[in-house]
Structure 1
């Protein structure tokens, strides 16, 4: 099953919102406390079979006079749910244009709308609704269980035992023989507890183990049912999943979360709707990547076999998870500070943000993003920004929600405009040695994206060399020689400077410059062009290593084009 639309009113920090996920896999991102978890809470409260206890704090502004209403419209329905014996009377239509209507026609997808309302009495009411019908159908917890919702958050391990209401309990065939054998096992528990001989329990454990391995949980032996006695005495809840003699409820946080998700997935016959809050919690980067990859792979396999794919709605603050999810899955949450109306924006051109996902995905978790034209500037600014906090009450740009992003050269214009359209404050920093195309300039102006560039027609390397005195030029050349070899650097420079031999160029700058009949400014401009053409500072690692030198150049001449340009960048990032 998949959610086609969710609308929320007066729930927690959300005054109103309407969202159509539009995909089987969605990765929700946004600023902290924007409402990502609240959105998952709203969906869970509406579709979970559990009884939800509401409090005053669950209402917007704690105002119980404005009732909570959450509508979740669900598609990819099973035949059972669409049958007249079940909910057929309340089936609605979802058009190809993603519009909901009460009376479906032949080309519409059959959908059901579940409505949760909570008024001042704090008593939740779950109903199936059609606006053209006078009376809705009240849904019980058993009815809601049919929608197959799974929620993974925190370290909830209740599904790792055969307790009342757990998925393992539902997975286990409840036959008279099973009950009798369990009763016998209870009686001899203290002397000889062995549940492996009960086929139904063993089958449930094996199904959970298979799913857990696929998601990346560490399985040291094999999953088996075992006895776990606690203060509450002996009951079905005392039978828990074990791995190599250790209760899974005692496993590490990451493995415990993945095992819990695996157990819940095992309990869903057809495509489950899975809500995952902060998938990275307790997981190493490789297991984050593995879990997301496996979930997406399962959906693709089901789609290829024309089986229900289900749906994953996932939140994250991890750049690893972002990169693995991909641009098509990204959904950016925005909320108006005054009205508290929430919107969820999809990336219309996923390929445009590809460079950010490949090189600096963490920038998408920021509020303000500086798009930088190339590797040289990205590396240098990554180091130079470390000098700024002492000028701003020891506050780094990251604390203000600002980030740097590689624009991948000419793609920077489209990237800046796209991010601006997704609600990010964006600015483009570029060299000025080539004029910007009029169409690109108009595109950024229309989007409201400012441009920062050098005042003269220079590239960054020239902007660095031009204000440098002889000592700083020598340090820059020594740095290039250390990275790329003295002879190679000297030969390249000599080939572009008239009257300079490679042998002389290997010597001190202050000596060989005295023997040249060339304007010092033109010489420095030529040196910068050589460094630029040869891409000696192009790698981010090298650019960052050179940032200390660049910072010294800036401090040596605060009126230079380099210094004033970088000051504009600093000012924008700290606005």
Structure 2
């Protein structure tokens, strides 16, 4: 019970054979038969045996909200992001259900996709980088399959492909789970069987849940059992502790139950039950027997470490799991940021090997934290995306080109929303945020509830950032100035990726378009705010440099002509009057929003188009039904 997991004995075949253990990495050997049962002479397969087992492919059919998923995760950290209820946690549950060292599991009709119990749940986990024991041809050769990163899983290993095995979990209408080793040829011959329990123990993942306190005692599935043995003397110590507890209780309870004991003894004497004539009040020997779970870690003051704060216990357990790496090749972490401050999130990611050049284990995490998104690389992140026409789930890797990493670092928050509006710069980001506040004040639907986030394109990076989001499957819009000619090839790429563009009349910047189109009674408030933020002398000087006779000391009853508006727009652009998010947000909420109805031209048209795009965003977890552009999957 207290021995290391690595000392388990195979219940079907006795001790694990070491016939293949001496094969060097990359060695070649021939399999014994082909699919027809004939001796195979010419096919050779590459062999591992010394690495850490890895999930090469996960295939899910009809499990909970996932109708279909086929995914090939990476070897290190695999961070899953996406809208709530998109199926991220179900992916982790599927891995856990297939690989955990359990002989049974409880299921309900709700685990079937669409409650359709007439069609079985199928979950296949294909394992590569196999230990030597699973490469034994005599025992597992009929279940050996091939893996190639370009073509995926093949039922017959080919030259140069990696040998893998697939473990299948099937749940039918009887809710009785069945675990089997799976290959198409074995299924055709009706000779499927389960992976021996000892092998499943070696492959079993460690799950770091919201509450990690149970790992700080020597329970059956505790990480402490993976990193060290409980000494043989512990059994005797536990038994002695139980005896002492029984005796101590008897001494303390004697006075409390003396009257009852006297009556019991008297009755025993009358009815002739000799053993009860000297009855005592002791703890039941069965009730105080201690198992391994009774041994728990405590601090220096004797306080159980399970009383640590949520974040502290998760960090400690993650560190212990790092020590258990050789016996726990896979780690599952749902909602990684739960209970942790940002700096501790980073420490936990480091413990899990996020920055290691050679990943110490394969890790699957789900997150809704921009801190996690920023800390991981684009190659470690996968976005959960629903197919527009069917409830199939796809996991899309975010990293496509070097520029994507910069987008990830700068716009981490936006990657957690279904729709992204990339804005040329801080002015546009602030304006749309301010307009959104104004619309919300009027009782309209907020942008956030539509699942739309903003991302700063920082000018020259806006086209690439919009393309990064669109190619990762996000519903993407781009709002930009029209004062510079954009690269035709990049614009064509945006169009092909389905990016919706919002822009001004040429050659206007945002400031120029605002002053050209906004209502007359909004001009003075705009200039007054600019003077407040940038200084009256600076703003007046910029205005006079472009139109010396423009006097804003009083309202012109005839309104502002085109030349005056043009001068103000040029001064605002050159002087960067509103080039911060906070300034532009105030303009959007307090000036542009209230005066939009009295404005005209491209200003009104573009803002109305932006508002319509925001309001027409699909619900969280859905895709844009009008978007027929499929992103390229990696």
1:131 is displaced (CA, Å) by: 2.7
Residue of structure 2 equivalent to 1:32: 84
Instruction: Decide which of 498, 513, 535 is 1:448's aligned counterpart.
Output: 498
Instruction: Decide which of 146, 151, 166 is 2:202's aligned counterpart.
Output: 146
Q: Which runs of 4+ in 1 moved over 6 A?
A: 189-192, 511-514
Alpha-carbon distance in 1 for matches of 2:561, 2:72? 62
Q: Residue 328 of structure 1 contacts residue 347 of structure 1 at CA under 8 Å; is this kept in 2? A: yes
Residue 387 in structure 1 maps to residue 438 in structure 2: yes
Alpha-carbon distance in 1 for matches of 2:76, 2:433? 37
Structure 2: any 5+ residue segments left out of the alignment?
1-52, 249-286, 617-634
Instruction: Spell out the pairing of 1:130-529 with structure 2 (5 A cutoff).
Output: 130-133=183-186, 134=189, 135-188=191-244, 234-244=290-300, 245-269=302-326, 272-297=329-354, 299-300=356-357, 303=358, 309-336=360-387, 339-391=390-442, 393-467=443-517, 472-494=522-544, 496-497=545-546, 499=548, 509-510=552-553, 520-529=561-570
Q: Residue 518 of structure 2 contacts residue 600 of structure 2 at CA under 8 Å; is this kept in 1? A: no
Residue of structure 1 equivalent to 2:56: 4
Moved more, 554-563 or 327-336: 554-563
1:87 is displaced (CA, Å) by: 4.9
1:456 is displaced (CA, Å) by: 4.7
1:25 is displaced (CA, Å) by: 1.6
Alpha-carbon distance in 2 for matches of 1:398, 1:96? 39
Change in Cα spacing, 1:320 to 1:49, as seen in structure 2 (3 Å) is same
Tell me, what secondary structure is at the counterpart of 1:296?
coil
Measured on the aligned residues, the alpha-carbon RMSD in Å equals: 3.2
Q: Residue 2 of structure 1 contacts residue 24 of structure 1 at CA under 8 Å; is this kept in 2? A: no
Residue of structure 2 equivalent to 1:224: none
1:527 is displaced (CA, Å) by: 2.6
TM superposition score normalised by structure 1: 0.81
Moved more, 340-349 or 415-424: 415-424
Instruction: Decide which of 559, 565, 572 is 2:600's aligned counterpart.
Output: 559
1:166 is displaced (CA, Å) by: 2.6
Residue of structure 1 equivalent to 2:73: 21
Instruction: Spell out the pairing of 1:60-71 with structure 2 (5 A cutoff).
Output: 60-71=113-124
Residue of structure 2 equivalent to 1:117: 170
Alpha-carbon distance in 1 for matches of 2:226, 2:162? 30
Q: Residue 5 of structure 1 contacts residue 74 of structure 1 at CA under 8 Å; is this kept in 2? A: yes
Residue of structure 2 equivalent to 1:99: 152
Q: Residue 439 of structure 2 contacts residue 593 of structure 2 at CA under 8 Å; is this kept in 1? A: no
Alpha-carbon distance in 1 for matches of 2:78, 2:220? 32
Alpha-carbon distance in 1 for matches of 2:405, 2:354? 20
Tell me, what secondary structure is at the counterpart of 1:18?
strand
Alpha-carbon distance in 1 for matches of 2:246, 2:575? 77
Change in Cα spacing, 1:264 to 1:437, as seen in structure 2 (3 Å) is closer
TM superposition score normalised by structure 2: 0.74
Alpha-carbon distance in 2 for matches of 1:175, 1:89? 40
Q: Residue 148 of structure 1 contacts residue 268 of structure 1 at CA under 8 Å; is this kept in 2? A: no
Residue of structure 1 equivalent to 2:584: 543
Tell me, what secondary structure is at the counterpart of 1:136?
coil
Alpha-carbon distance in 2 for matches of 1:384, 1:252? 41
Report how many residues are paired. 520
Alpha-carbon distance in 1 for matches of 2:468, 2:401? 10
Q: Residue 518 of structure 2 contacts residue 596 of structure 2 at CA under 8 Å; is this kept in 1? A: no
Deviation string 1:352-408 (CA, Å, 9 cap, x unpaired) is 4445433332222222221211111112222221111355x5421111211222223
Q: Residue 145 of structure 2 contacts residue 154 of structure 2 at CA under 8 Å; is this kept in 1? A: yes
Tell me, what secondary structure is at the counterpart of 1:290?
helix
Tell me, what secondary structure is at the counterpart of 1:240?
coil
Deviation string 1:485-509 (CA, Å, 9 cap, x unpaired) is 3334444444x32547xxxx9xx73
Residue of structure 1 equivalent to 2:271: none
Q: Residue 271 of structure 1 contacts residue 311 of structure 1 at CA under 8 Å; is this kept in 2? A: no
Moved more, 264-273 or 447-456: 264-273
1:80 is displaced (CA, Å) by: 4.3
1:9 is displaced (CA, Å) by: 1.0
Structure 1: any 5+ residue segments left out of the alignment?
193-230
